[in-house]
Structure 1
Amino acid sequence: MSRKKIWEKKKRFPKENRASFKKKNIKSLKKQGLLAEGVFIGNARGFGFVETGEDEEDIFIPADAVNTALHQDRVQVLLKKEQKPGKRREGTVIKILERGTTEVVGTFQREGDYGFVLCDNQKISRDVYISPKNSHGIRDGEKVVAQILDYGSEKRKPEGKITESLGNIHAPGADILAVVKSYGIPSEFPVRVMNQAMRVPDHVLEADWDGRDDLTGLMTVTIDGEDAKDLDDAVSLTKEGNLYHLGVHIADVSNYVQGGSAIDREALKRGTSVYLADRVIPMLPERLSNGICSLNQGVERLALSCLMDIDENGTVVSHKITESVIRVDRRMSYEQVRCILEDGETETSREYQEFVPMFFLMKELSGILRGCRHNRGSIDFDFPESKIILNGAGRAIDVKPYETSVATEIIEDFMLLANETVAREYCKGEYPFVYRTHENPDPDKVEELLMLLHNQGIDVRKSGQEITPKEIQEILESIQDLPNETMISRLTLRTMKQAKYTTECSGHFGLAARYYCHFTSPIRRYPDLQIHRIIRDNLRGRLTREGKTEHYREILEEVARQSSVCERRAQEAERESDKMKKAEYMSYHLGEEFDGIISGVTGYGLYVELGNTVEGLVHITALKDDYYTFDQETHELRGELTKKVYHLGQKIRVRVADADAVKRSVDFTIAEEQEE
């Protein structure tokens, strides 16, 4: 029977819920702890997991127990009564509480007058059937958005209708646009928002000076990437005696984006700007982000300035947070500042000679601040980020590590100090606020990590019941310059919880900071914009009047939650965009050999990371010289006959066997000369 006939055979629309229980049975199951609720996370192979909470282990859902659950659905799960010791909890989806996936993005595969959408999101394992009346003449191979009309059953695929065509799969930018759509990231501003943005002045008005400190006389610079257009932080620095006078000046976006306005509502909906391989999707319209809110060279701009007096031990002995007007003297790039500080007398240092003393003073203070953070136990995960070079057609033509420099460290150190200083004042003042929180890691995950490190021959010690940032820092320092340094650092990072926004000031574990918030990027992060409003209301005495305090207490929980959700969405989209372009780049190098390091060892193979940051899999079936078994304790694969061992950090030469941009996957095999 053909695929079409099977589909068009008498359609049955069973209830979505696999099983139904009487209320008394539900109560009984809850008492026995056999019912759980959470978010379903799909897998390309049909099975999935249900996340029930930050401190609880995920529940494994076999492929035949998924019901009709799709990735991101909120579900109710019936747990198995008998769980195997040491194994992950297992269950069956018995009820769909809320659909998290209502549309999919993928490639349309036409079969006669109907077709299927092959989903780009690998966590959605099922194709979506598109009937002739809902295909709207879409051609084979087009990228499309499809709304799900029916979620199907165990034997019947979901059904949908095409709502948008994104163009041919090979059209420039269509692949990245598909990522944007699949994550539900708003890419176009509503007309009302754009109209409101057009009414914002393009220069500082005379009335805007009222109540502000005039800091236009300070020697002030911005230091950013060469391509940056939204410059939301500037710095100034002088030294008198033993005191450094550091100014961190942040664009006062809150003066132009009023709370509750159309622009503000859209900014909250977006939560953050999203930086993808070939484009930036901004949180604010370009007229604001690149115009009046950007601290451009030579023009007056409104700012919130954090002015700090710092002693030679790196302690902030006094500070002032104030509304200001600044004028940036020079727009510097990271590379220009690095060149001035590290390359001696050059054309760049001669061009900016009047600023050179300040840059060296910045380097001096940066070193002191970095040393202070190190002494208190701040954890520094120093991974090279990827820089992906695209050609005019949007194809990846190079991938290389994006290294940090003394210039990036200066800005990072100054911004961290400003964030801590602001958070400390507002936490101690017990004002309604949004903090950046990083909780202590889960003790069980820490124990697993310590056991792994011990089996890797790394001497680790933990004094108390909970590990401290200082102890993790010492572990990372103990593996410096070892072949498996990067791999162990990544495993350690995975042990950490994800930072989030909260209204409680409970500290930042990774930074070993008691007080921390995000204050320095209001152009691209909504929490920063929100706390700028609170700061301005406080400075102008409005928090205690007009019911402002109560207003903020009512809205900030949702602001923190929404901002955290949007941040995770942006991170996932950015990660998928990079993986896709890396796979695309490697697809042009099939059969070529590269040197790499084993970055992960699993029961199904080896992950190998190349020097250009691309990671790929050597599947265990590709290890043809022996039968290999996985040692979970030591994270090693061992050959039964040859006694050959593959382990974390091992240098290895591989050949590119396959690369699939759609699946975001790269497959390697071991190079022949190495096998011998």
Structure 2
Amino acid sequence: MESGEVVEYIDNNKIICSVVMESGNQKLKLFTENDREVKVSAQRLSHRGKTKLPLITDRHRMATSLKNLSAARQAIAETIQIHELWEILNQEEDWIDLEIMTGLCFPDSSDDDHQSAVIRAMFKSRRYFKFKPDRFLPHTEDQVAEIIALEQKAAREQRLIDVGAAWVRSTLSGSVVEPGVDHRELTEILKDFYLFEKDSPRCEIARALVKKVQLKSPEAVFDHLVAVGAWSADENLDLLRYRIPTDFSQPVIEKAQSLRIPTEEDLKASGRVDLTHLATLTIDGQSTLDFDDALSVEPRDGHVLVGIHISDVAQSVKKGHPLDAEARARGSSIYMPDQRISMMPPVLAENRLSLKKDCIRPAISTMVKIDPRGEIVSYDIFASIIRVKHQLSYYEANGNAEQAETINCLYDIATRFREKRLGQGALQITLPEINIWLDDTGAPVINRVNRESPGRLLIAEMMILSNWLAARFLTEKKIPAVFRSQPKPKDRILKNGPGTLFQNWMQRKLLNRFALRPEPDRHCGLGLDAYVTASSPIRKYFDLVTQRQIRAALGLEKAYTRTEIEEIIDRLSRPMADIGRVQYRRNRYWLLKYLEGRVGEKEEAIVLQRRRNGYAILLKAYMIECTLPQSSGIDLKAENLIRVTIQHVNARRNILSVFLG
């Protein structure tokens, strides 16, 4: 290739006109219309003709000549009617070379400028022809239609990016923009992008928008969505990430309202054992609305008969019913400081299926005969009807004089049962519980709950007793269920006695995960040979499934097969894990929100273990872990008691930092 030849190449989606200064080894040294010297491969050239320009020392003049030549060629390119050309050639199935295409476009002249013009026109619009610098292939009608649709989509997306960038800028500057259709669509795009990032459906639009506005962190997207009212400042993002429904659809509500619930007359005529004469009571938290378990104590000659009564949800919510499908999809009720999401519609969970005071309800009752030493003599499980006489909170149960005899009797039986479990290797981890709720102003309030209070202890142990006996009952009947087991802990810190706060906290970290399977196995954590959960059928689908298996053993319905139980366990494993994360993170979020107002305060903490750049510590008052940066000259050891100062808290970003006080 000779010096002075005018050539063109494509750079940054633009055709550049240039002149050859030197050539050799397939590399060309070019001087471009942009007054630059570049080296490019000969293979990159989009056009090479016979036109030459004299190489002169005045670079500006030479660049001007190239610009003028480029502009003249571009002006010719603007005269080419690509669509009309395609309408003539779209039946062609072979490539059309540059010389022929130039002749078709310009029958009277076909020089370098016209060839370049054809290349430029074809390069600018790829709608009608497949482009290669020296030849072109007409697209089919279907291909053209598809390309036009893609172009329209790209144009629409670009408009969204432009509109969105202007909207975000105005929001950041404090201006208010009346939302339009595009803004509503952009809101959903930005929501998905903040929640799912690269996995969001229209991630590229969101990324281009963020780049155009030059947002420095994802939190700016969150702030924008809060500013325009799409989210609240305390939005529960996990519910959105895990796509957990917070309401029930109208069809589901209508199904719940129309569900036939047995009347009192139906129940009394059904052959169920009538236990409405018993002084049955419930003990729950003050804010509880769905009551699914109740207790009774009946003195007999030389022993007591303890009744553990569970709402017979399966009597009304039948297997395969739309309400059953809804409960199965949800898996469990979700309890958070600022929100309660029921597994079943409230009309059922809080009313028609709930063991409410003075209402006759169907139940599955476990009657346990216990001798004066606290030993279980026998038990019986059957379908019953009950009427709750007393509805107590944990606080009321701990100081209720009227029910003191019943509470004391149940508490004595519960403590003896726990001692028996401990003797069988149970691991009793005793940790305070931090209860968080929101007051009337929406501010978080906390209190420290003693889980060893009489009311809480006896309910916990009575439910463990009921579930263990249900597991034994199903095992004896050889009926599969959702059995829960747990291997031995990785190590055992707690051995004799309740142990210290440090020991209990660290022991919990050493527990192995529980397992769910259709057949029984030992639950080492509880010290029991078999275990199911069947005491919360209003709140947990696994419990409802196991209740149905108990009913099947009683001849009230058909049992699930082992394969069906396995399928249920498998299907619910993911949603149940998601629910666990949602509840944990939301509790932590509101605890951190509470601590945002405690910056600068000193707190007592326990050193848990050394880490690379500091120590893991436990703030005792709030039972929350954080990291203490290592201080020079101070060497701390596990279980040391220290005082720290809360330095910085950000609930949204899950940040809690402290320094040695």
Instruction: Give the TM-score range, shorter chain.
Output: 0.5 to 0.7
Which residue in 2 is equivalent to 1:149? 201
Amino acid at match of 1:319: Y
Which residue in 2 is equivalent to 1:32? none
Aligned residues of 1:436 and 1:501 also touching (Cα < 8 A): yes
Give the count of matched residue pairs: 476
Q: Distance in 2 between matches of 1:334 and 1:172?
A: 36
Aligned residues of 2:494 and 2:504 also touching (Cα < 8 A): yes
Please state if 1:257 is matched with 2:272: no
SS of residue matched to 2:314: helix
Which residue in 2 is equivalent to 1:652? 642
Which residue in 1 is equivalent to 2:577? 568
Which residue in 1 is equivalent to 2:327? 267
Which residue in 2 is equivalent to 1:463? none
* TM-score, length of structure 1 as denominator length: 0.64
Please state if 1:609 is matched with 2:618: yes
Aligned residues of 1:213 and 1:323 also touching (Cα < 8 A): yes
Shift of 1:233: 0.4
Q: Distance in 2 between matches of 1:659 and 1:513?
A: 42
Which residue in 1 is equivalent to 2:440? 392
Select 2:476's aligned residue among 415, 421, 428: 428
Aligned residues of 2:362 and 2:385 also touching (Cα < 8 A): yes
Shift of 1:276: 0.9
Looking at secondary structure, tell me which structure has more helix per residue. 2
CA change 1:133–1:297 in 2 (3 A) is closer
Q: Distance in 1 between matches of 2:442 and 2:413?
A: 41
Task: String of CA shifts for 1:386-435, please: whole Å, max 9, x gaps.
Answer: 11242334332446455441111111111111111110111122112221
CA change 1:391–1:359 in 2 (3 A) is closer
Q: Distance in 1 between matches of 2:612 and 2:209?
A: 31
CA change 1:584–1:617 in 2 (3 A) is same
Which of structures 1 and 2 has the bigger CA Rg? 2
Please state if 1:235 is matched with 2:295: yes
Q: Distance in 2 between matches of 1:436 and 1:264?
A: 22
Which residue in 1 is equivalent to 2:256? 197
Shift of 1:477: 4.2
Residue correspondence of structure 1 range 147-226 to structure 2 within 5 A = 148-149=200-201, 168=227, 175-201=234-260, 204-209=263-268, 210-226=270-286
> What is the Cα-based RMSD across aligned positions, in Å?
3.5
Aligned residues of 1:309 and 1:319 also touching (Cα < 8 A): yes
Q: Distance in 1 between matches of 2:312 and 2:584?
A: 30
CA change 1:658–1:402 in 2 (3 A) is farther
Select 2:389's aligned residue among 326, 329, 334: 329
SS of residue matched to 1:149: coil
Q: Distance in 2 between matches of 1:141 and 1:585?
A: 29
Which residue in 2 is equivalent to 1:302? 362
Aligned residues of 2:226 and 2:232 also touching (Cα < 8 A): no
Amino acid at match of 1:228: T
Which residue in 2 is equivalent to 1:69? none
Which residue in 2 is equivalent to 1:440? 488
Please state if 1:520 is matched with 2:538: no
Structure 2 unmatched ranges of 5 or more? 1-11, 14-160, 170-180, 212-217
Aligned residues of 1:378 and 1:511 also touching (Cα < 8 A): yes
Q: Distance in 1 between matches of 2:369 and 2:210?
A: 62
Task: String of CA shifts for 1:98-143, please: whole Å, max 9, x gaps.
Answer: xxxxxxxxxx9x9834879xxxxxxxxxxxxxxx979735499989
Please state if 1:418 is matched with 2:466: yes
Report the identity percentage.
24
Aligned residues of 1:582 and 1:614 also touching (Cα < 8 A): no
Q: Distance in 1 between matches of 2:393 and 2:231?
A: 29
Q: Distance in 2 between matches of 1:480 and 1:584?
A: 32
Amino acid at match of 1:476: L
Select 1:362's aligned residue among 402, 410, 416: 410
Task: String of CA shifts for 1:480-516, please: whole Å, max 9, x gaps.
Answer: 56xxx32332322222222243212112110111111
SS of residue matched to 1:490: helix
Aligned residues of 2:444 and 2:591 also touching (Cα < 8 A): yes
SS of residue matched to 2:529: coil
SS of residue matched to 1:359: helix
Shift of 1:363: 2.1
SS of residue matched to 1:508: coil
Select 1:112's aligned residue among 152, 159, 165: 165
Select 2:606's aligned residue among 597, 601, 604: 597
CA change 1:157–1:527 in 2 (3 A) is farther
Aligned residues of 1:169 and 1:175 also touching (Cα < 8 A): no
Amino acid at match of 2:381: I
Which residue in 1 is equivalent to 2:379? 319
SS of residue matched to 1:646: coil
Amino acid at match of 1:409: L
Q: Distance in 1 between matches of 2:643 and 2:274?
A: 60
CA change 1:487–1:310 in 2 (3 A) is same
SS of residue matched to 1:329: strand
Amino acid at match of 1:272: S
Task: String of CA shifts for 1:300-356, please: whole Å, max 9, x gaps.
Answer: 11111011112344433222111111001111111111113xxxxxxxx2xx2xx33
Aligned residues of 2:236 and 2:586 also touching (Cα < 8 A): no
SS of residue matched to 1:136: helix
Which residue in 2 is equivalent to 1:545? none
Please state if 1:277 is matched with 2:326: no
Q: Distance in 1 between matches of 2:531 and 2:389?
A: 30
* TM-score, length of structure 2 as denominator length: 0.66
CA change 1:203–1:145 in 2 (3 A) is farther
Q: Distance in 2 between matches of 1:170 and 1:412?
A: 43
Aligned residues of 1:313 and 1:372 also touching (Cα < 8 A): no
Q: Distance in 2 between matches of 1:424 and 1:256?
A: 25
Please state if 1:489 is matched with 2:504: yes
Q: Distance in 1 between matches of 2:342 and 2:513?
A: 23
Which residue in 2 is equivalent to 1:409? 457
Structure 1 unmatched ranges of 5 or more? 1-8, 11-107, 117-131, 341-348, 450-471, 543-547, 627-641, 672-676
Which residue in 2 is equivalent to 1:476? 494
